[in-house]
A and B are shown apart, each in its own frame.
Chain A
Amino acid sequence: MEKKFGVYICKGCSIGESINIDNLTKSAARVAKIQPDAVRVHDVLCSPAGLEMIGNDIKEGANTLIIGACSPRVKFEEFDFPGAITERVNLREFVAWSQDPNTDATQSIADDYMKMGIIKAQKGNLPEPNILPDLSKTIVVVGGGISGLTSALEAAEAGYEVVLVEKQADLGGWAAKLYKQIPREYPYEKLEEPAVFGKIKEVEAHPNIKVYKSASIEKTEGQPGLFDVTIRTNGTGETIKAGAFIMAAGWQPYDASKLGHLGYGNPNVITNVQMEEIAKTGKITRPSDGKEAKKVAFIQCAGSRDPEHLPYCSSFCCATSLKQAKYVREKNGDAVAMIFYKDIRTPGQTEIFYKNMQNDPGVLLTKADVTGISDAGNGNMFVEAENTLLGEKIKVEADLVVLATGIVPATRVPQEYLDGLTEAGKKGDDARKAYIESTPKPEFILNLDYRQGPEIPSLEGAYGFADSNFICFQYETRRTGIYSAGCVRQPMTMADASDDAAGAALKAIQCVEHVAQGIAVHPRAWDMTFPDPLMIKCTSCKRCTEECPFGAIDEDEKGTPFYRVNRCRRCGTCMGACPERIVSFKDFSVDIIGSMIKGIEVSEDEFRIVVLACENDAYPALDSAAIKRNKINPNVRIIPIRCLGSTNLVWVTDAFSKGIDGLMLLGCKYGENYQCHFVKGSELANYRFSKVRETLDKLQLEADRCELIQVAISEYDKLPDMINKFVERVEEIGPNPFKEF
């Protein structure tokens, strides 16, 4: 496309009263290499008249538009010109609303921003989607429990082909082992027949669903839209094409053999899973002698909420024990159920079920810490407890004890093994080898043939759950196109797992549809650009393959990286990582940002600071500060970037060799509670920045000229001061000695 520039400056919203528009017009024209009278100035550019003016230019052939007006966060409908490169220059928020009017400093800020906008438009190109051939929209569901069955049905009903892979010989998972289900509808009184059997029938009869039982995934190669999945069933392997995954591999009960202190090992101390089996027989009997149990004790949090066992709450055990207490009471009106609990957790409307059970005089609820189980003779046991509400120790006889054991996600064992491998790997090849030799290799679930490992990477503080760290974006994990659902993600009830499974199915559908259009998925679900590396210059240093938060880059036999572009989320972390600077997007590249930095005017008597701001949170925060008319330090020039992870260290060199005095990175919080929308971006930028000190040493510059600051979108009131403090520190250090060159 031959670019024909249209440069526009809006005078509205006090822009016209803050700067000399004529001078800005002249400087912009110079940069854009057009005549000053070709720069269009309008009183209110977003008004119908202003937009008509731009529209007419487009009709005349303008296809590269630089719009100096308000922030790109507003007036997005007005300034949307499909087919044209459109660069919004934030003269309103970053100049008129946050700077002193009509000073030289303010004028030069406006000049710099217009110049940077023009450079970006000159260097950038219109994106074209990258649609790979032979895409599959088939969705693979891993796990045939309540979550997997629900996901499979929902996706199939939405019109997609589904392949369901179940490890066991039968579908249904734990849900099929239940005698009855907790009531799900008002008035929450009657136990329900397990709903799972109906779902199994529907799944098995559905024309869009193919079920593999007694099956496992031997290998998953490829990328969203182009997965080759090898499924092994009864000794034979079959490879199918698939577009996306739903990971619903479920859970295991916590190993009760670790609960000896609660009497497990005694035949009459059983788990809540065993209790379901017993209830199915029609009578609540105890294992030791088959005698009907009439005094049944339930011990809550058997393993859960215990730092020695499971440091989380397993969410469903309180309601499950209440339900099982109802089994006891319904089977024999003379029997009593005693529930020993820390807190009864029946959130939401389940509370009403709890209340109904409380009204049954044969159900006794006692807040207590169970300290032990002792023999009471004849197969009976004493439950001993303290910290009761009466403040005294108690000892209660029971003829059957049910441990409300919690859940362990199916992902935990493989994740722990892989985390151990990573740790060993950090100590060197020998340690890694020793780890592999000494540690039993667990059964993997997805068996991804990814450079970064065969499973969904573990989330810090998630205890093996394949969960998302995002509250707002529940299905975001670090493996594009693979969405986890149900108890493999979080402890949850069956009702919640069904909702969750439907959501995961939708995300899988979105993924295959976006891949078919060659656009990214969340959080840049509109983005048509993609990383386009100049491989001829690649040195196979593998930094990109290691750093990509989404494992989008693999290596061939020779160790040369190659992209699996459908796994890519377009954060630009690879672009930031690459020392050869070979990775570019059509509208975002090392050269574009570097040229923008180099375009900033530097004078000898003024300090100039570049702020690279994450466009997701830091940029809106800066905007918000300006909307409140808070002053932003006039020495800084703000450049939005996709994610701090895209920061290439050459920009540091670019800045300082140009004479910039300081460089600030503003991005999202990292660490366990990270807020980075690309998971690792800001953390990686921080890591790279720690290396920047070496670069600065080489340049004989002070390392303190660079700083990375973590900022939340809500901290806009503090932000101007954070910037001021940094500018002050740079001023204390003094001007960049390269200025004079």
Chain B
Amino acid sequence: MADNKKVLVIGGGFSGLTAAVETAEAGFDVVIVEKTPFLGGRVTQLNKYFPKLCPPNCGLEINFKRIKNNADITFHTLAEVEKISGQEGSYDVTVKVTPRFVNDKCVGCNACAEACPVEIPNEFNFGMDKTKAAYITHNQAFPFKYAIDGRYCKGASCAKCVEACKYDAIDLDMKPEIVSLNVSSVVLATGWDSYDVSKLDNLGGGKIANVITNMMMERLASPNGPTSGKILRPSDGKPVQNIAFVQCAGSRDENHLPYCSYICCMASMKQATYLREQYPDSTARIFYIDLRTPGRYEQFYWKVKDDPKVSFTKGKVAKITEDPETKDVIVEAEDIQLGKKIKAKFDMVVLAAGMVPSTKASKIPGDITYTADGFVVSSSLKKGIYAVGALKSPVDVSMSVQDATGAAIKSIQSARRSK
């Protein structure tokens, strides 16, 4: 197949993976450019999906298998697009690849990580534990190939990993590379970040030890997380018996994110089930403005509501403080339905932090218009460039899949037009 019929997908999260495999299975060449060392994106950090409560690695494994079995898909990890120029049918793309310091000879044996003396904060677990500078995020990661974090690695002066690797897989001299591509179309799927909760002063985000974000909660509940799936609070490792979820932490707030982040209501209800399943006597209380469980998700809400140990309070949380002695968390809110103020103590509080498009912080090269909140304005995109998933509006995994599959047909139309 001629190179100029190739489709570039920027971002290897679930949207990007879907766009890529769906395009390739329709018979077109695809190249994925992913910023991190591994594919899978945000969903690899999730414990379960709502409403089925099934593990994200199940669908990822199938998608990785589709990639393994399809010669038409290639990918670059640790890669970022620096420049896009041209037009539909022939976009010239410059990709910068940061060194992994580990080559394809890696067998995934873990010897480098064992030998590595440098402990670093584990970003995959939002810093809740440590990993090594030579690492793999989890044991179903893809590609199953270690990476060395150049920001922390001491390089040739240490080189203990080089010594430990029996397979000649470590190359500390690896240099950044530039890859040039010519593609017919580009799918933008660079995903989203959590809203920075440290901006939520009144909610103690980033300041109170036992106030965590919803994404941190996913890691705490995950079998491959920092606590091997036990929900323990950060300050003292105590099992959490009494939890509060604060909805719209940043979202639906003109001072932070004016839009609704769509997933947070379902996510908090799901996370309430994590706790309830783990500790039979535990209680969960969800503070909300509106409960948004559209479509058939309503049934999940009913199911969670049926649990007498999960309660819902309509009211925006005004203030969160810490009991300095016990490190318990004190939530002050107004129960709008009862028309009274509440002050309640919890072992831990989860802030349902909103979704921020990755393009809020880092723009994609090229002439693209963004909203004030950083979302891509689709109508501003040049022909042959398509934005998917959370770049257009906050979405859940299902909607990302629909949208990314739709982008795949747009891509093959571009390829066809540029025959």
Contact = CB atoms under 8 A, between A and B. Distances in A.
A580 interface: no
Contact of B377 (A185, A347, A348): A185
B298 interface: yes
B51 to A, nearest CB: 8
Contacts of B416: 157-159
Interface in B399-419: 399, 401-410, 412-413, 416
Interface in A672-706: 673, 675, 677
Given A502-B405, A514-B25, A312 B296 contact: yes
Contact of B59 (A473, A499, A504, A507): A473
B408 A12 contact: no
Contacts of B295: 312-315, 490-492
Interface string A617-643: 100100010011000000000000000
A274 to B, nearest CB: 24
A343 interface: yes
A185 B372 CA distance: 12
Contact of B405 (A157, A469, A475, A624): A475
B279 interface: no
Given A13-B109, A492-B295, A616-B61, A509 B54 contact: no
A348 B251 CA distance: 10
Nearest to A351: B260
B409 A345 contact: no
B150 interface: no
B139 A713 contact: no
Given A345-B294, A474-B402, A12 B107 contact: yes
B180 interface: no
A239 interface: no
A346 interface: yes
A526 interface: yes
A361 interface: no
A472 B63 contact: yes
A714 interface: yes
A283 interface: no
Interface stretch (A423-431, A457-465, A593-601, A730-738): A457-465
A186 interface: yes
A70 B14 CA distance: 27
Contact of A471 (B25, B54, B294, B371): B54
Nearest to A48: B105
Interface residues of A, number: 91
A491 B293 CA distance: 12
Contacts of A155: 409
Interface in B190-242: 222-224, 228-229
Nearest to B370: A186
A47 B104 CA distance: 9
Given A348-B259, A389-B336, A472-B14, A47 B409 contact: no
A157 B59 contact: no
A669 interface: yes
Interface string B145-164: 00000000000000000000
Interface stretch (B66-74, B78-86, B120-128, B319-327): B66-74
B62 A472 contact: yes
A190 interface: no
Nearest to B144: A74
A158 B409 contact: yes
B280 interface: no
B245 to A, nearest CB: 16
Contact of B291 (A158, A315, A343, A475): A343
Nearest to A619: B61
Interface in A320-355: 343-352, 355
B108 A74 contact: yes
Mostly helix, strand, loop or mixed at chain A's interface? loop
Contacts of A349: 259, 371, 375, 393-394
A499 B223 contact: no
A716 B236 CA distance: 27
Contacts of A469: 52
Interface string A45-80: 011000000000000000000000010011111000
A496 B296 contact: no
B166 interface: yes
Contact of A627 (B108, B252, B261): B108
A713 B57 contact: yes
B398 A474 contact: yes
Given A305-B298, A506-B409, A713-B140, A675 B54 contact: yes
B255 interface: no
B58 interface: yes
A372 B225 CA distance: 51
A44 interface: yes
B260 A346 contact: yes
B356 interface: no
A290 interface: no
Contact of B27 (A75, A185, A513): A513
Contacts of A499: 399, 402-403, 406
A314 B294 CA distance: 7
Contacts of B25: 510, 514, 522, 525
B57 A714 contact: yes
B377 A474 contact: no
Given A472-B397, A499-B402, A343 B61 contact: no
A70 to B, nearest CB: 7
B362 interface: no
A467 interface: yes
Interface in B90-149: 105, 107-109, 139-140, 144
Given A349-B393, A675-B54, A712-B58, A343 B26 contact: no
A350 B49 CA distance: 24
Contacts of A73: 144
Given A472-B397, A514-B25, A627-B108, A355 B258 contact: yes
A503 interface: yes
Interface in B361-412: 371-372, 375, 377-379, 393-395, 397-399, 401-410, 412
Contacts of B314: 367, 389
B58 A158 contact: no
A345 B25 CA distance: 36
Contact of A157 (B168, B261, B413): B413
B2 interface: no
A17 to B, nearest CB: 11
A129 B148 CA distance: 43
B223 A714 contact: yes
B307 to A, nearest CB: 17
B308 interface: no
A712 B54 contact: yes
A679 B91 CA distance: 41
A70 B107 contact: yes
Nearest to A472: B59
Nearest to B371: A186
A193 interface: no
Contacts of B52: 469, 471, 673, 675
Given A390-B339, A471-B397, A509-B26, A462 B296 contact: yes
B22 interface: yes
Given A154-B413, A186-B375, A349-B375, A675 B58 contact: yes
Contacts of A75: 107
Contact of B55 (A344, A500, A506, A713): A713
30 contacts: A12-B167, A74-B108, A154-B409, A154-B410, A186-B377, A311-B298, A344-B290, A345-B294, A351-B258, A355-B254, A387-B337, A389-B336, A391-B337, A391-B338, A461-B296, A463-B296, A465-B296, A472-B62, A474-B405, A491-B294, A491-B296, A496-B399, A506-B26, A506-B405, A526-B70, A616-B62, A673-B54, A714-B58, A716-B139, A717-B223
Given A74-B107, A155-B409, A472-B14, 6 more contacts: A347-B292, A351-B260, A352-B259, A470-B59, A526-B70, A620-B140
Q: What 7 A-B pairs have minimum CB-CB distances, sorted nearest first?
A: A472-B59, A502-B406, A503-B405, A714-B55, A526-B69, A343-B290, A351-B260
